[in-house]
Structure 1
Amino acid sequence: MSEIKEILLQLLFSLTPFVLYNIYYRNLEVNYSRRFIIFTCSFCLILSMTFPLSVQDGLVFDVRYVIIFFGILFGGVTTGFILLVEFIIFRLYIGGSGTLDALIILAITFPLSILLSSFYYKIRKKYWITFIAGISFSIIPIVVLYITKPDYILSNVTFNILAMPVHNCLGIWLLITLFNKSVTDKELYLKFIQNEKVETINQVAASLAHEVRNPLTTVLGFLKLIRANTLGWEKTERFIDISIEEIHRTEQILSDYLSISKPLATFHQHIDLVVQLKTVVEVMTPYANMNNVSLEASYPAAPVHITGNPTEMKQLLVNFIKNAIEASADMPKARVSIQFLQHLRRVQLEIQDNGVGMDEEQMSRLGSIYYSTKSTGTGLGLTFSYQAIRSMNGTISVKSELYSGTVFTISLPLA
């Protein structure tokens, strides 16, 4: 029974990179790095070698081959050599009668790991590489030990036949399969987040074209009047002032639009939520007008400071307001209202619409990746928004009824 526990413990060590990846990169807008692979593999290698599986003093078994192969596969050959040096130093420190055997086995398995990893990204059926690696890392140690220590192999046949395949075959298959799935999902998530953002910007750009055209038409008309030279100096000066104001308004509209389209940053700072919301409302008002939706917002007199990423904050506000506008577009007297509420050390931002609403099942799945209540949506806009709110130590709640509207309440801690 103790041997089974130790085998399961080694499998847990082999899955540690996958677990740490899902914890560390869950809310980050980037994928894994080689530094992350080096750190996690080094940590797992030390753990597995510190708590090894053994049935005879001096001969220890762990998931070293799994970790080193995984490190080479996802971190490159440099990562593999770092793990190799780490293993040699620590194995010499542990010592025992199996030290020389361990170094001989690694002298065979390490070049094999580099060779297999080079084929992994070249062939279509990658599971064959995983299968060959698992079988090879199970057979090679047994063969080497049978040559150097035949008595040990013959007296522990059952253990070696069971422990090696479970450690290496199952360990490699689980780790690489699960890690690959997580990395692929993360890449799709990042790609769709970018596409969702581009789509939102394109739609807002279409509405901004109408908003920008109005002041440009005004300026053009005044310039023609001034050019005709039929006005007095007072009217000419007044028309010039109005034209300058319209140009400044156009410049502000474009600046607000560009501030939303900036790429996401990873740092947080003190930001005024009132200023952020005013900017987004000004940008989204033309889009609301195009959909015959009234967009209203009430602002507190004093600034409301929170800690967060200003670009992420603007983007998530755009996502919620855009969704509210689209949900209300087909309703009579369509309306979207936004208001602030403050309670103790938190601020609540309520975004309410009188749109089509949602049922209980739809509300429970909001924020899930690839789920959307719109036939053409991916749901990744809300997925990003939910993660951004959590990254600022905030919470999000929703109340909705079918054909009675929806209220999203974003709660954030004050700075």
Structure 2
Amino acid sequence: MTILKDIILQLFFAHMPFVMYSVYYRDQSKNYTQKFIAITSMICLFISMTFGASVVSGYFYDIRYTIMFFGLIFGGLQTGFALLAEFVLYRFYIGGDGTFIAMVIMLVTFTGSFLLYRIYQKSERKSLVLLLAGMFFSVTPLLFVYLENPQSVIHNLSFHLLVIPMQNLVGCWLLITLFRKAVTDKELYISYGQHERVRAISHVAASLVHEVRNPLTAVKGFLTLIRDGVTDRGRIERYIEICMSEIARTEYILSEYLAISKPIGDKQEPTDLEELLRITKDVMSPYANMHNVLLEISHPPEPVWILANPDKMKQVLVNFIKNAVEACAEVPHTRGKVTLRLQVAARKVTLTIQDNGVGMTEEQAKRLGSIYFSTKSSGTGLGMTFSYQAILSFGGTVNVQSEPGAGTKFTIRLPVYTRDVEAREGVEA
């Protein structure tokens, strides 16, 4: 039972970088950094060595070699040397009869880890390299300890033949395989998310072409009349005034479109949701008109403040409105309608987005926001995944009600941001 406990404990420590990555980068639109790998690996190495298994006084066994190899693969040589320095300092601090042989083993395993790291980077059969690494990390310490103190190995043979190989073989394979899979999925999510955003913006841009063409046509017509010799001064001034009004309208449409399509930042700040809603409505109205869908909004006359990333929130609104418009466009012989209602009550901001489109089944509604799930045949689902994660990162919730053929209603709730909250947080800090 003690042996099993030691194995499970060390395997748990081996998973710490993977768990930390999954928690910290869950809602992030970026992947890990070398600094993150270095910090998590050093924490894991410290805890692992602190609670290492021991059957002979002064000799400690843990997953130090696995963590060292992990740090080299994902953090590079600098991280590897930082972990090596940490090990040397902490092992001298722990002390014991096995200190010298531990340093010799680490020198050999670190050199071997570097060679295996170079092979791993170039190899297509990475699982095989991980298996070889686990075997190397198991055999090397066993061999050196036997040469230095054979009786300690012989008297605890089951421990040396079971615990050490299990910790290193399983720990090395699980940690690096799971972490690599998580990193690959995050890279795909980021890549597809960027593609999904570009596609959404390009669809909106296509509708803006039609919207901008109308005022330009009007301006062209009135300028033609002026060029053709209209002599009435009052009429000329009226024509010029109309032209200026149409040009101003075009500038407004384009500036709001640029505000929506600019790169997304990371910082959260006090954000007026009422203003964002109006801006997004103006940008998405041409897209709705192109699909013969009526877009209506209802909001308080005063600003509605939330703590959020304004760029992300704009993209969230674009994603929800775009999906609602497209759902309405799929219903034949019916004038589509999308209604957005913004309300504030009980220190909560509630935004409802309702459409009379095709609707969804209960199963589809439950899966919304899951990565790569989409109700559209040509969709990736990453637009909704991004939106759900963004709302959660703002401390909000999303609820969906839908029936096939009866439309869909999304209810987004976010905490109200007030200055007294900011002041309280400043005092607590």
Q: TM-score, normalised by structure 2?
A: 0.95
Shift of 1:231: 3.1
Could you tell me which residue of structure 1 aligns to residue 147 of structure 2?
A: 147
What's the secondary structure of 1:302's corresponding residue?
coil
RMSD of equivalent CA atoms:
1.0
Shift of 1:299: 2.1
Indicate yes or no: 2:419 matched with 1:413. Answer: no
Indicate yes or no: 2:19 matched with 1:14. Answer: no
Does the aligned pair in 2 maintain the 1:135–1:168 contact within 8 Å?
A: yes
Could you tell me which residue of structure 2 aligns to residue 323 of structure 1?
A: 323
Shift of 1:343: 1.8
User: What pairs with 1:158-197 in structure 2 (closer than 5 Å)?
Assistant: 158-197=158-197
Indicate yes or no: 2:352 matched with 1:350. Answer: yes
What's the secondary structure of 1:265's corresponding residue?
coil
Shift of 1:413: 0.9
Could you tell me which residue of structure 1 aligns to residue 387 of structure 2?
A: 385
Q: How many residues align?
A: 415
Could you tell me which residue of structure 1 aligns to residue 257 of structure 2?
A: 257
Could you tell me which residue of structure 2 aligns to residue 113 of structure 1?
A: 113
User: What pairs with 1:91-106 in structure 2 (closer than 5 Å)?
Assistant: 91-106=91-106
What's the secondary structure of 1:111's corresponding residue?
helix
Could you tell me which residue of structure 1 aligns to residue 425 of structure 2?
A: none
Alignment deviations for residues 89-145 of structure 1 (CA, whole Å, 9 cap, x no partner)? 000000001111110001111011111111112111111110110000000001111
What's the secondary structure of 1:210's corresponding residue?
helix
Could you tell me which residue of structure 2 aligns to residue 50 of structure 1?
A: 50
What's the secondary structure of 2:106's corresponding residue?
helix
Shift of 1:330: 3.0
Could you tell me which residue of structure 1 aligns to residue 35 of structure 2?
A: 35
Alignment deviations for residues 205-263 of structure 1 (CA, whole Å, 9 cap, x no partner)? 11000001111111112222222332322222222222222112111111111112112
What's the secondary structure of 1:121's corresponding residue?
helix
Q: TM-score, normalised by structure 1?
A: 0.98
Could you tell me which residue of structure 1 aligns to residue 378 of structure 2?
A: 376
What's the secondary structure of 1:135's corresponding residue?
helix
Shift of 1:151: 1.1
Shift of 1:341: 2.2
Say which is worse superposed, 171-180 or 324-333, in terms of deviation.
Answer: 324-333
Equivalent of 2:343, from 341, 344, 349? 341
What's the secondary structure of 2:39's corresponding residue?
helix
Could you tell me which residue of structure 2 aligns to residue 248 of structure 1?
A: 248
Say which is worse superposed, 287-296 or 19-28, in terms of deviation.
Answer: 287-296
Could you tell me which residue of structure 2 aligns to residue 200 of structure 1?
A: 200
What's the secondary structure of 2:410's corresponding residue?
strand
| Mapped partners of 2:344, 2:80: distance in 1 | 53
Does the aligned pair in 1 maintain the 2:299–2:343 contact within 8 Å?
A: no
Could you tell me which residue of structure 1 aligns to residue 229 of structure 2?
A: 229
Alignment deviations for residues 323-382 of structure 1 (CA, whole Å, 9 cap, x no partner)? 111111132121111112222101111100111111111111110000011111111100
Does the aligned pair in 2 maintain the 1:316–1:388 contact within 8 Å?
A: yes
What's the secondary structure of 1:387's corresponding residue?
helix
Could you tell me which residue of structure 1 aligns to residue 423 of structure 2?
A: none
Does the aligned pair in 2 maintain the 1:225–1:231 contact within 8 Å?
A: no
Could you tell me which residue of structure 2 aligns to residue 89 of structure 1?
A: 89
What's the secondary structure of 2:299's corresponding residue?
coil
Does the aligned pair in 2 maintain the 1:395–1:412 contact within 8 Å?
A: yes
- Long gaps (5+) in structure 2: 418-429
Say which is worse superposed, 140-149 or 251-260, in terms of deviation.
Answer: 251-260
Indicate yes or no: 2:398 matched with 1:396. Answer: yes
Shift of 1:154: 1.2
Does the aligned pair in 1 maintain the 2:338–2:356 contact within 8 Å?
A: yes
Could you tell me which residue of structure 1 aligns to residue 427 of structure 2?
A: none
Amino acid aligned to 1:260: I
| Mapped partners of 1:41, 1:231: distance in 2 | 81
Amino acid aligned to 1:286: P
Amino acid aligned to 2:278: K
| Mapped partners of 1:204, 1:310: distance in 2 | 19
Does the aligned pair in 1 maintain the 2:319–2:387 contact within 8 Å?
A: yes
Could you tell me which residue of structure 2 aligns to residue 301 of structure 1?
A: 301
Amino acid aligned to 1:29: S
What's the secondary structure of 2:398's corresponding residue?
strand
Amino acid aligned to 1:376: S
Shift of 1:286: 1.0
Could you tell me which residue of structure 1 aligns to residue 132 of structure 2?
A: 132
Does the aligned pair in 2 maintain the 1:346–1:411 contact within 8 Å?
A: yes
Does the aligned pair in 1 maintain the 2:230–2:236 contact within 8 Å?
A: no
Could you tell me which residue of structure 1 aligns to residue 424 of structure 2?
A: none
Does the aligned pair in 2 maintain the 1:292–1:334 contact within 8 Å?
A: yes
Structure 1 stretches of 4+ with a deviation exceeding 6 A read none
Could you tell me which residue of structure 1 aligns to residue 80 of structure 2?
A: 80
| Mapped partners of 2:239, 2:312: distance in 1 | 39
Could you tell me which residue of structure 1 aligns to residue 213 of structure 2?
A: 213
Does the aligned pair in 2 maintain the 1:105–1:140 contact within 8 Å?
A: yes
What's the secondary structure of 1:336's corresponding residue?
strand
Amino acid aligned to 1:412: L
Does the aligned pair in 2 maintain the 1:348–1:411 contact within 8 Å?
A: yes
Shift of 1:309: 0.9
| Mapped partners of 1:209, 1:231: distance in 2 | 34
Amino acid aligned to 2:385: T
Amino acid aligned to 1:335: K
| Mapped partners of 1:5, 1:123: distance in 2 | 35
| Mapped partners of 1:191, 1:130: distance in 2 | 28
